[in-house]
Amino acid sequence: MSRFNFRPCLQILFFILMTFVPFTLLGQAPLSVAGVELNNTSQKLESALIDGKVNYNAEKQTLTLENATLKGEIHNRGIELLHIELIGENKIEKETGALFLEKATIIEGEGSLITKCGSNYTDIYHEKSLQIINCSIKTNTFRGVNDAFLELENVSFETERGIFWERGIVFKDCLIVEPSNAVYNSSENAIAVGGKFFDGKVIIRRVEKKKPTFQVQQNTIGNGTLTISGYEDLNAVPQGTKLSVIAKPKEGYKLDELTANGKAIQNNELVITEDTKIKAVFSAITAIESVANPILSIQCSSSQIRISGLQSQELFSIHSIKGVTIIKAKADENGNANIRKNFPSDFYFVHSSRGSSLFLVP
Mean pLDDT on 252-279:
91
Is the pLDDT confidence value at 143 over 80? yes
Q: Are residues 65 and 175 in the same domain?
A: yes
pLDDT level of residue 349 (50, 70, 90 thresholds) = confident
pTM > 0.95: no
CA-CA distance, 278 to 228, in Å (whole number)? Answer: 9
Q: What is the pLDDT of residue 271?
A: 95
Same-domain check for residues 198 and 241:
no
pLDDT range class, residue 298, cuts 50, 70, 90: confident
pLDDT the model gives residue 259: 94
- DSSP assignment string, 208-258: PPPPPEE-EEEEEESSEEEEEES-S-TTSEETT-EEEEEEEEPTTEEEEEE
Whether 184 and 244 map to the same domain: the answer is no
354 shares a domain with 305: yes
190 and 234 part of one domain: no
Is residue 243 scored above 80 in pLDDT? yes
pLDDT at residue 292 tops 50: no
Count of CB atoms within 10 A of residue 176's CB? Answer: 19
Residue 55 lies in a domain: yes
Which of 116-120, 168-172, 260-264, 307-311 has the highest mean predicted lDDT (pLDDT)? 260-264
Enclosing domain of residue 309: 297-361
Query: Do 198 and 220 belong together in one domain?
Result: no
The domain boundary, picked from 191, 206, 221, lies at 206
Bridge pairing between strands 136-139 and 156-159: parallel
CB 142 within 8 A of CB 124: yes
Question: In this predicted structure, what is the pLDDT of residue 354?
Answer: 67
- Terminus-to-terminus CA distance in the chain, angstroms? 141
Closest Cα partner for 355 from 322, 317, 300? 317
| Contact of 125 with 97, CB cutoff 8 Å | yes
Task: Give percent of the chain with pLDDT exceeding 90.
Answer: 44
* 274 and 254 in a common domain: yes
Per residue in 31-43, pLDDT (tens digit) is 999 989 988 888 8
Residues 233, 154 share a domain: no
Backbone phi, then psi, for 313, in 5-degree steps? 60, 20
Whether residue 243 sits in one domain with residue 348: no
7's enclosing H/E stretch is helix 7-20
The whole-number pLDDT of residue 260 equals 94
3-state helix, strand, coil in the chain (%, to 5): 5, 50, 45
Does 10 fall in a domain?
no
16 lies in some domain: no
Residue 27: its pLDDT value, please?
Answer: 57
Q: What is the pLDDT of residue 311?
A: 85
Work out the pLDDT band at 269, boundaries 50, 70, 90. very high
Q: Is the pLDDT of residue 3 over 90?
A: no
Q: Domain count of the chain?
A: 3
CA distance 298 to 259: 33
pLDDT range class, residue 8, cuts 50, 70, 90 = very low
Q: Looking at the structure, do residues 228 and 270 belong to the same domain, yes or no?
A: yes
Query: Cα separation of 255 and 278, whole Å?
Result: 14
Weakest mean pLDDT among 133-137, 189-193, 244-248, 276-280: 189-193
* Count of Cβ atoms closer than 10 Å to residue 296 Cβ: 21
What was the pLDDT predicted at 120? 84
List the alpha helices (DSSP H) in 21-162: none
How does residue 286 score in pLDDT terms, banded at 50, 70 and 90?
A: low
pLDDT cut 70: percent of the chain above it = 89
Q: Verify that 65 and 150 share a domain, yes or no.
A: yes
Q: Is the distance from CB of 242 to CB of 271 less than 8 angstroms? A: yes
